[in-house]
Structure formats: C-alpha cells, structure tokens
Amino acid sequence: MFVIVFRYQAPLETVDSLKDAHYANPDGVFGRGLARIAGPLEPRTGGVVLAEGTRAEIEAAVASDPFVTSGAATAEILSFRPVYTSDAQDAAALVGRCGR
C-alpha cells in the first residue's frame, strides 16, 4: 500500500481549477482504480491518497496527475505495510493483500 501526499505549490484558485481533471484523469490513481481513500489536508495545503498497486503503477499514475504536470502540486509516494485497523475484518483483508 502507498500513501501519496500532494503538497500544493500554487494558489488554491489554481488547484481548484484543476480538481475535476485530477479526479477524471484516466491514467491517474482514481481513473486506474488505485485510490482507496482520499481527501484534502486541513488546512488545505495539499491532499492525501491511500492507494493500492505496484510502485510502478503508483508512480506512473502520479506522474500523469494534472496537479503534478501543471506544477500546481508536488507528490511524495510513501510505501507502508498495514498491520492494524480498528476493524479486524478490514485488517485481515488489507494485510492479506499486502503480503504480510
């Protein structure tokens, strides 16, 4: 699993103008079905995506993201191995998919 941290480098007006393209990008984490949960940071200085796939898939998806290609945001990709969730059934499913 991966955490993608987007950090805005442009004014929010610019970021907001790219939001629809960010979600609709067919080659991005949403379009390719890699995103599991996502949302903006508070305060709105960026956003976070929890994604599932290979590193190569995640890197390619992030590289095609309109936030990144326009320079409106940078993206950091962090790999992690989930070992806990508050729901035991969800934890078993996540850990099983990630090869504990």
**Does 95 have pLDDT greater than 70?**
no
CATH number, domain with residue 86? 3.30.70.1060
Token couple for 82: 């989930």
**Does 100 have pLDDT greater than 70?**
no
Q: Given this model, what pLDDT does residue 3 score?
A: 98
- Boundaries of domain holding 16: 2-97
What pLDDT, in 10s, does the model give residues 54-70?
A: 999 999 999 999 999 99
- Residue position matching structure tokens 């079905």: 33
Distance CA 74, CA 94 (A): 27
Domain count, the chain: 1
What pLDDT, in 10s, does the model give residues 4-51?
A: 999 999 999 999 999 999 999 999 999 999 999 899 999 999 999 999
Distance CA 25, CA 19 (A): 10
Q: Given this model, what pLDDT does residue 34 score?
A: 97
